[in-house]
Amino acid sequence: MKKSSFAAMIMGTIGGILFAIGMCMCLLPEWNAFKPGVFMGCIGFAVLLAMVIVWRRMENKTPIRLNGKTVGTVALGVVGSLLLGLGMCLVMVWSNIILGIILGIAGIILLLSLIPLIKGLK
């Protein structure tokens, strides 16, 4: 395993755990820890952003440039993830199976469309 992959794995694990714990603290009213949860989630998000920067520097890759395609790709990923999550919530929490399945499939299609958008077709 390369040093860059190991560093990315460790930082990704730490950042992901901090972010997940922060979201649990925010979303579970039994914990009564909304403000500390926001703080913990922001720390986790910052560690994840630092992981990307560290990994790219260790791999001698150019920094990510913000252009229209990058912003559009991120927006498409966010919308696809939200649709998939909303579909899952509709099915499992609110028992609206038909609409949940339709929205979930739409989210999956949007997420699958990221592959040819990013990698291209050959």
- Would you write out the chain's pLDDT as a tens digit for each of its 122 residues? 899 999 999 999 999 999 999 999 998 888 899 999 999 999 999 999 999 999 999 999 988 888 999 999 999 999 999 999 999 999 998 889 999 999 999 999 999 999 999 998 88
pLDDT at residue number 116: 95
Residue 63 forms part of a structural domain? no
pLDDT at residue number 55: 94
Kindly state whether residues 76 and 103 are assigned to the same domain: yes
Single-letter amino acid, residue 87: G
Kindly state whether residues 19 and 44 are assigned to the same domain: yes
Specify the 3-state DSSP secondary structure of 63.
coil
Kindly state whether residues 81 and 108 are assigned to the same domain: yes
Kindly state whether residues 106 and 78 are assigned to the same domain: yes
pLDDT at residue number 97: 94
pTM: 0.69
pLDDT at residue number 121: 85
What H or E segment, with its residue span, contains residue 85?
Answer: helix 68-92
Domains: count for the chain: 2
The phi, psi pair for 28, rounded to 5°, reads -100, 105
Kindly state whether residues 52 and 72 are assigned to the same domain: no
Which residues touch 2 (CB under 8 Å, ≥6 apart)?
none
pLDDT at residue number 76: 97
